[in-house]
Amino acid sequence: MKLELGNFYVKDVKFGDTTAYVNGILTINKEEALAYVMEDEHITEADIVIARPGENKRIVPVKEAIEPRCRVNGNPVFPGVTGGIAPAGSGRTHALKNTSVLAVGKHWGSFGDGMIDMSGEGADLTHFSKLINICLVANTDEEFERHEQQKKNKALRWGAMRLSEYVGNAVKEMEPEEIEEFELGPIIKRDQKIKDLPAVVYVMQPQSQMEESGYNDLVYGWDANRMLPTFMNPNEILDGALISGSFMPCSSKWSTYDMQNCPTIKELYKAHGETINFLGVIMSNLNVAMKQKERAAVFVAQMAKSLGADGAILAEEGYGNPDADFIACFDALEDVGVKTVGITNECTGRDGQSQPLVVLSEKANAIVSCGNVSQLIKLPPMEEVIGELAALGRDGLSGGWEGDEKLGPSVREDGSVILENNSMFCGDQVLGWSQKTMREF
C-alpha cells in the first residue's frame, strides 16, 4: 500500500474573492466557504476567523482540529464520515501544511473541549499554537445537548471537517511542493534484510468509552466502541480512516489533525528498514467493562504474536479509567514476549502526589510520559478571544470551573485564566509531538 502525501507549505491565510493557493498564500472566499458549511441546516450561525502563531489570541472552546486536505481522485477525505466508504491509505492526498481548521463553539463548550493560546506561556502547552488556525466559530440548533456537559458536537465537528475539505480542494489540481511517500510492503513478502530486523507493531487505543454513539472516535465512520481490535495499515491512519471524538478531557484527546499527522507512525516509518521491521498498526480501543478491556488485550496480544512482533509501542487516548485498558494491554503483550514501550500522560494531581496511573504493573517497565493532566496553569489575558471565554468556567470543561473556594473562578474579570492542563487543547500529545515529560520534585 503506497500513500503519497502532497504537501503545500502555507505561509499565510487571508480572505479574498476566490479560494485559492498562490505562492504560499492561501486565500479563502469566506462567503462561499460559509455557504458550504451552512448547507448543514443544524448550523445556525457561523464565521471564520484566522489565528496565527504569535498573535495575542485565545481560542476557546475548541472541539476539534483537522488538517485541510483533498483526495486527488475526488473521494472523501474521511471515508464513511464525510462521504461514502472508500479505502484510505493509498494514492494521492494533498495537504495544506502549517494550517488546521478548528471547530470552535461560538458560545457553548463541553467537557472535552479545550483552549489554545497563540502566544505567551500558554502557547507552549499545545501544538496548535504553531499552526495557522482557520477557526470555524459557529452555533448550532442542537438544543437536546445545549446544557449537557457531554456534547456530541456533531454539527460543529462535521462542519469543520467539511470546511477542511472545501479549503483542501484549493490545491487539488496543483503540483505539490513536496511529496511524502509512505509504503509498507506485504508483511510476508518483505526483503530478507528487513525481515532480519526486530518486528514492531504500533498499538493504538483511541477513545471509545461512551456506550451511546456519537461521542467516540470513528474508524471508517464506525464507532470504535463497537469493534474488536483489528489490524490496519499505518497509511490508513495518516489518510483519514480514523477521526477524533468528543468525550475525553482535552489534553488527553487526539484530534483528527494529530491522527492525520501521527508523529509515532512517521517515526516508525523512519526506522523501518533501518533498525526495525514496521509491521503495521493494531487498532484497539478503550472500553468500559473489565471483561471488554481484557478481551481487547487478548486480541491485541494474539495479533501481535501471530504477526511475529518482537516489540510494540502502545498509546492510550485518555487517563484514569482507560489506564486499566492500557496496563491490561501492556501486560498481555509482555506476557506473550512482545517487548513494549507505552506512551501516556499521567494524573498526579495538583500537588503531584497522586498515583500516576490508576492501575500500575511492574511489567510496564518502559513508559514515555507526556505530562500531568491536573497541573494548574495560570495565564494572563489575551487581547482577542475567538469563541467565548466564559465557556471555560461555565460549561463544564474538564480543566475549568465556575468557582473554587481557594482559587476563585477559572475565568477572571480581567480575562486572565486559571485552569488545569486538562483543558489545554490536545496538550499532552501522546501521539508523539510531546516535548513534555514528568519529573520528581
| Sites of contact with another protein (CB under 8 A) | 124-125, 198, 200, 263-264, 266-268, 270-271, 275-276, 310-313, 339-341, 343-344, 346, 348, 351-353, 356-357, 360-362, 364-372, 375, 421, 429-441
The residue among 146 and 195 lying less far from another protein, judged by its C-beta, is 195
Q: Which residues pair with 157 in a beta bridge?
A: none
**Nearest-angstrom CA–CA distance, 410 and 419:** 6
Q: Which is nearer to another protein, 221 or 352 (CB)?
A: 352
Q: Which is nearer to another protein, 364 or 392 (CB)?
A: 364
Cβ neighbors of 31 (< 8 A, separation 6 or more) are: none
The grid coordinates of residue 96 equal 495544506
50 vs 201, beta carbon nearer another protein: 201
Q: How far apart are CB 30 and another protein at their closest, in Å?
A: 35
Is 259 within 8 Å of 244 (Cβ atoms)? yes
Closest to another protein by CB, 201 vs 385, is 201
Closest alpha carbon to 67 in 265, 316, 263, 238? 238
Shortest spacing between CB 199 and another protein, in angstroms: 10
**CA pair distance 65, 205, nearest whole angstrom:** 19
Give alpha helix (H) positions in 308-423.
322-335, 391-394
Which of 70, 111, 95, 103 minimizes the C-alpha distance to 320? Answer: 111
Distance CA 29, CA 409 (A): 39
- Residue (347 or 391) nearer to another protein, CB: 347
The least CB distance from residue 104 to another protein, in Å, is 25
| Residue 410 vs 429, nearer CB to another protein | 429
Helix (H, G, I), strand (E, B) or coil at 210: coil
Q: Categorise residue 400: left if φ over 0, alpha if ψ from -120 to 50, beta otherwise.
A: beta
Cα gap 310→112, rounded to integer Å: 36
C-alpha cell at 147: 446544557
CB of 247 to another protein, least distance (A): 22
Phi, psi of 431 (to 5 degrees): -75, -5
Nearer to another protein, 287 or 369 (CB): 369
- Least distance (Å) from another protein to the CB of residue 363? 8
Tell me how far, at minimum, the Cβ of 7 lies from another protein, in Å: 19
- For residue 413, CA distances in Å to 57, 109, 112, 116 come to 17, 19, 24, 19
In the bound complex, what is the minimum distance in angstroms from residue 426's beta carbon to another protein? 13
Secondary structure of residue 255 in the 3-state scheme:
coil
Cβ neighbours for 26, distance < 8 A, ≥ 6 positions apart: 10, 12, 13, 14, 20, 96, 99, 167, 170
Q: In the bound complex, what is the minimum distance in angstroms from residue 102's beta carbon to another protein?
A: 22
Smallest gap from Cβ 153 to another protein, in A, equals 27
- Tell which residue, 296, 276, 268, 269, has the closest CA to residue 284: 296
Which three three-digit cell numbers place residue 127?
501544538
> Between residues 154 and 266, which has the closer beta carbon with respect to another protein?
266
CB of 372 to another protein, least distance (A): 4
At closest approach, how far in Å is the CB of 55 from another protein?
20
CB-wise, 149 or 365, nearer to another protein?
A: 365
Find the shortest distance in angstroms from Cβ 432 to another protein. 3
Nearer to another protein, 395 or 420 (CB): 420
Coil vs helix vs strand at 55: coil
Q: Give me the sign of the Cα torsion angle 295, 300, 301, 307.
A: positive
Give 149 or 437: the residue with its C-beta nearer to another protein.
437
Question: Within 13 Å, how many C-alpha atoms sit on residue 330's CB side?
Answer: 22
